[in-house]
Amino acid sequence: MSEETSWFFVPDLASLEELNLSLTRWCEEQRKKCGASFGEEAASLLPLPALPHPCALHTVSVVSSTSLVRFEGNVYSVPVGHEREAVNLSSTWDRIRISQNGTLLADHPRLSGKGKASMELAHVLPLLQAKPGAARNAAVVRRLTEPWQKARKLLCAQPEGYREFCTILLLHREHAMEALTQALEEALSLKRVTAETIRQLLWNRTTSVLPAASVPDPLAEFSSCCAPNPGRYDALTREAVA
């Protein structure tokens, strides 16, 4: 197939799925046009590789003082402790992966447009543990869902309440964000928004029913004892007197 026929106009489509569908239709049309010549060419083609080619753009970036990496007008968070360090950035059509010396630091969905931010709460937990007051206005906290904003406003309005709110955030080190948010919503409905309440709710969700205890072999013979008979008391009393 010549180079002239292998280019086609790309329409304005809403998603990658629509683009792939449009490209597939175009390929089928080209296959029909070429007819037998396509079959002759296909016989000479090499098989596809066992692993897909990693279609990614690799660049080097520097972490900002706020633990963010900038790429194409958007920013992506990395764990605190890498400020002003060089990192490797691998960008595909849908993911942004940030690594350093072969260790993956962050994996974000790729943002479209400009001026957006992708932040993970787990990346700033060490900072919040050291400075609980930052939980009141941290950008990553303000991007959390509505239940978290309700809890933040409720607790931070109380004296030292930001410490309790920070303790709740730190539970993310032990529990997935989805489960933690569900427990927070339940605590809000109970009007008991404390770290201890949320920890108990999480524990209740994960605790399984204990299996029935088995009788150890040395005690197995006692499991077949006869049922208790209170009437035997008088007989035993008479035997003792005699």
Tokens 């090499």, located at residue: 46
Q: Give, in order, the Cα–Cα distances in Å from 187 to each of 98, 162, 181.
A: 36, 17, 10
Each residue's pLDDT, cut to its tens digit, for the chain (242 residues) gives: 444 555 656 667 777 788 888 888 888 888 787 777 777 787 888 888 888 888 899 999 999 999 999 999 999 999 999 999 999 999 998 999 999 999 999 999 999 899 999 999 999 999 999 999 999 999 999 999 999 999 999 999 999 999 999 999 999 999 999 999 999 999 999 999 999 999 999 998 876 555 666 656 665 565 556 666 766 767 777 766 65
Of 113, 180, 197, 174, the C-alpha closest to 145 is 180
Tell me what pLDDT residue 2 has. Answer: 45
Tell me what pLDDT residue 206 has. Answer: 79
Chain centroid to CA 237: how far?
Answer: 71
Q: Is 98 helix (H, G, I), strand (E, B) or coil?
A: strand
Amino acid making up residue 149: Q
Tell me what pLDDT residue 40 has. Answer: 79
Tell me what pLDDT residue 240 has. Answer: 62
Tell me what pLDDT residue 208 has. Answer: 58
Residues in the chain: 242
96 contacts 73 by C-beta, under 8 angstroms: no
131 contacts 138 by C-beta, under 8 angstroms: no
Query: Which helix (H) or strand (E) element contains residue 172?
Result: none
Chain centroid to CA 211: how far?
Answer: 31
